[in-house]
Structure 1
Amino acid sequence: MAEGPIQTGDTRAHSIAKASLGVLLAVFGIWISATFIPSLIWAVVIAVAIDPLYARAEARWPGGRRAWLPLIATVLIALLVLAPLTIGVIEAAREARTVIAWLADARANGLAQPEWVQHMPFANEISGWWQNNLATPEGTAIQLDRVKGSLVGGNSALVGRNLVRRSVVFAFTLLALFFLLRERDNFVVQLQVGGRRLLGSCGDRIGAQLIRSVRGTIDGLVLVGIGEGAVMAVVYLISGVPHPFLLGLLTAVAAMIPFGAALLFGIASLMLIGQGAIGWAVAVFAIGMVVVGIADHFVRPLLIGGSTRLPFLWVLIGILGGVETLGLLGLFVGPATMATLIMLWRDYIAGTNFSDLSPPLALRADRPPPDCD
């Protein structure tokens, strides 16, 4: 008769010890792998984004799901990222000689005041500043040294470390993506079982909401950003902006961040102003703002909010807050997190009859607020 309580006590003690050990090991494991967690999240985001296409490829070539199909998908993702960077580096190398020659000439002869300065507001003040700071070789050298000191001084080592770190993160992301695609079915089954045991029937809904949020965010940010870059590349080409396709590519990348494309419009306008094409400069900036307005206020809310059932205000908070906290990764993690929180909140208040709550919740000037229960 005494064995029952002892066995129960032992079982309870073993369960508590097992749970405590699991929590400690989980915390320790997260601490050990903290450097690689962004790479794992990136791999999950990419896998979720390409899953519809990858599932079709698996259905068509079922024999390649364990070897060459994950490898091909990983290589294509790598090329999709590295190809634009390679093009940008090549274009920058081509322009480096021209920039170096221009800087040498500016140091030797100064910068002559362009004609368009006389057509700007406060032309006399701008002209006076130009004559004092840029018209002579000495003034130009001082200004260039200031710019060089602010941009390069003390930052070269930091830039080098960041470049190495991001290269390692990118390489590990590709490695994680390969194994994630190869073991795709096993991972999905394990996540479903773990979600149901931990969250019950709500686990599948949360997983589906996260997937919809990530895909909706990719459609709303990446695809719309690419569309903005393509439209503006045509505008740059027509208006005579130097390197229109490279600038269009940079615009597409910047457009993935809300209000980020305006910086590229400004750079293009300044290039045109430097060429004396003030009318085209104004036109490029105005067209760019119209394109951004349509994309940010109509297309993106429809794509992101429609797939996540998330109001645009929370979409914007998720994007901007995610970028501030997690960098580029926050573009995708932020909206997915906000969408899941809103879904859980809606589940929590589901079934409430708000008409019964409206009289006591309506605070009127002639009635004191209700007492708390």
Structure 2
Amino acid sequence: MAERMLMLLLLGVLVLGCIYVLYPFFSAILWAAILVFASWPLFQRLRRTGLPRALAALIMVLVATVLVLLPIAIAVRGGTKDVNHLRLAIQLALQDGLPAAPAWLETVPLVGGALSDLWNGWAADINAMVAFFRPYFGMMIEAGVRALLDVAHGVVDFGFALFISFFFYYHGEWIGGWLTRLLRRVAGRQAGRLGQVIGQTVRGTVYGILGNAVIQGLLTFGGLWLANVPRAPLLGLVAGFLAMLPIGAPLVWVPAMLWLFGTGATGRAVFLALYGLIVVTGPDHVIRPYFIARGARLPFLPTVLGVIGGALGFGLLGVFLGPVLLGIGLSLAREFADGGETATNPAEPLAR
């Protein structure tokens, strides 16, 4: 008995040590696993053409790299020009002063008069505006540095995820078989059902989120183009990336709408506001959960709660993890409620 307890203790210490070593790469490993699992059918199709395993894995990694880095490169190139224009506009405003407040600002209910007076006060004395914002300069610089560090961390995570995904592709069959045997040892007769739920949920979540991002990006681009907003393709691309988060495309079209109001294009601003609310943002709460629920065989409400709750708890990675965890939990609850009667399917390999 003492030897068994000692063995379990040593095993627990070993597991904790492995977790401690791999913890810095936890996010990259999960991203690589999600990428490989969702794109595994495409990898198998490449393998059926006669390509060697290593070459097929390398092609999949290169395709993923291009699909992610090319839009980012386009966005950075356009964003650099916009930052320079913004810097020049700020310099001109500091030299020449602000123009008078637009007439529409005073018509805004409740706060329009105060905002118009504040604007005109700054237009008369630019130093008053500088003094107003001076206490926030440090906060803005800190937020900018934090954002740059987050971006750098994301780039490093993405690089590690691509590196790891190559080996996941290469050893996919072995990893899938090992996970299936492990799941069978842990879950017994429920292993087949759990493996099916995990596979459908992961693929449904990935396809739903990516499909929704593409649709949201295209819809946002269409609205911005119709409203004659500059750099509509770049902003549509940014909206597509942001659509993977629960807030999504409004982070793009709302500032564009405010910019139109500020330039006096009230009609186009109203059009963009209605277009964004009805065409872009409205379907976002239906398209994403619909695709996820269809692929994962999950009820609609748990899918919505999984996406939003996962994002709030784990960030972007939680958008994928939330529905997966809820799907597994619901499956276990059903099996327990049915007394295991539905868990009669044999375990199926996870890497299919």
TM-score, structure 1 as length reference = 0.83
1:42–1:173 Cα contact (<8 Å) kept: yes
Alignment CA distance shift 1:134-1:222 (3 Å): farther
One-letter code aligned to 1:189: G
Quote the residue 1:52 is aligned against. 41
Aligned counterpart, 1:184:
172
Q: Partner of 1:201 in structure 2? A: 189
- Aligned residues of 1:254 and 1:260 also touching (Cα < 8 A): yes
Aligned partner of residue 175 in structure 2, secondary structure:
helix
Query: Which stretch of the first structure deviates more once superposed, 299-308 or 96-105?
Result: 299-308
Q: CA deviation at 1:184?
A: 0.9
Query: What does residue range 1-373 of structure 1 map to in structure 2 within 5 Å?
Result: 16-61=5-50, 63-65=51-53, 67-112=54-99, 113-121=101-109, 123-146=112-135, 148-152=137-141, 154-155=142-143, 157-292=145-280, 294-350=282-338
Given that 1:216 and 1:307 are in contact with CA atoms closer than 8 Å, whether structure 2 keeps it comes out as: yes
* TM-aligned CA distance change 1:104 to 1:77, over 3 Å: same
Q: CA deviation at 1:297?
A: 4.4
Give the secondary-structure state (helix, strand or coil) at the position aligned to 1:107: helix
Amino acid at match of 1:315: T
CA distance in 1, matches of 2:86, 2:284: 35
How far the C-alpha of 1:14 sits from its partner, in A, is: 5.7
Quote the RMSD (CA, aligned, Å).
2.3
Report Cα offsets for 1:257-288 as digits up to 9, x if no partner. 23432232211101211221112112112111
Distance 1:264 1:98 in 2: 18
Per-residue CA deviation, residues 191-218 of structure 1 (Å, 9 max, x unaligned), is: 1111112221322321221121111112
In 2 relative to 1, CA 248–210 (structure 1 residues): closer, same or farther, beyond 3 Å?
Answer: same
Q: Which residue of 1 aligns with 2:345?
A: none
CA distance in 1, matches of 2:315, 2:181: 32
For residues 23-75 of structure 1, the C-alpha deviation after alignment (integer angstroms, 9 at most, x for no partner) is 221121101211111110100000111112111111113x421x221111111
Q: Is contact 2:184–2:191 with CA below 8 Å preserved after alignment?
A: yes
How far 1:79 moved relative to its partner? 1.6
Q: In structure 2, how many angstroms separate the alpha carbons of the residues matched to 1:86 and 1:135?
A: 41
After the TM superposition, which of the residue ranges 265-274 and 297-306 deviates more from structure 2?
A: 297-306
State the 1:15 CA deviation.
5.2
Report deviation, 1:119.
4.9
Report the Cα distance in structure 1 between the residues aligned to 2:27 and 2:67, rounded to whole angstroms.
Answer: 19
Q: Which residue of 1 aligns with 2:348?
A: none
Q: Secondary structure at the match of 1:201?
A: helix
State the shift of 1:116 in Å: 3.5
In structure 2, the CA distance between the partners of 1:146 and 1:281, relative to structure 1 (3 Å rule), is: farther
Structure ranking higher on relative contact order (CA contacts 8 Å, 6+ apart): 2
Q: What is the distance in 2 between the residues matched to 1:225 and 1:160?
A: 23
Query: Given the superposition, is the C-alpha separation of residues 294 and 106 from structure 1 closer, same or farther in structure 2, using an over 3 Å criterion?
Result: closer
Q: Distance in 2 between matches of 1:242 and 1:104?
A: 21
Gaps of 5+ in 2: 341-352
CA distance in 2: counterparts of 1:324 and 1:316, whole angstroms:
12
- Seen in structure 2, the aligned counterparts of structure 1 residues 318 and 84 have a Cα distance that, compared at 3 Å, is same
Alpha carbons of structure 1 residues 39 and 263: separation in structure 2 relative to 1, 3 Å: same
State how far apart, in whole Å, the 1-side matches of 2:178 and 2:159 are. 26
Secondary structure at the aligned position of 1:33 is classed as helix
1:128-167 Cα deviation digits (max 9, x unpaired): 1211234432133334545533311x34554454343323
Looking at structure 2, the residues matched to 343 and 115 of structure 1 have their Cα atoms a distance apart, in angstroms, of 59
The share of aligned pairs that are identical, in percent, is 28
So what's the TM-score if we normalise by structure 2?
0.88
- CA 1:236–1:292 in 2, change beyond 3 Å: closer, same or farther? closer
Distance apart, 1:13 and its partner CA: 6.1
Q: Aligned pair in 2 of structure 1 residues 95, 294: CA closer, same or farther (>3 Å)? A: closer
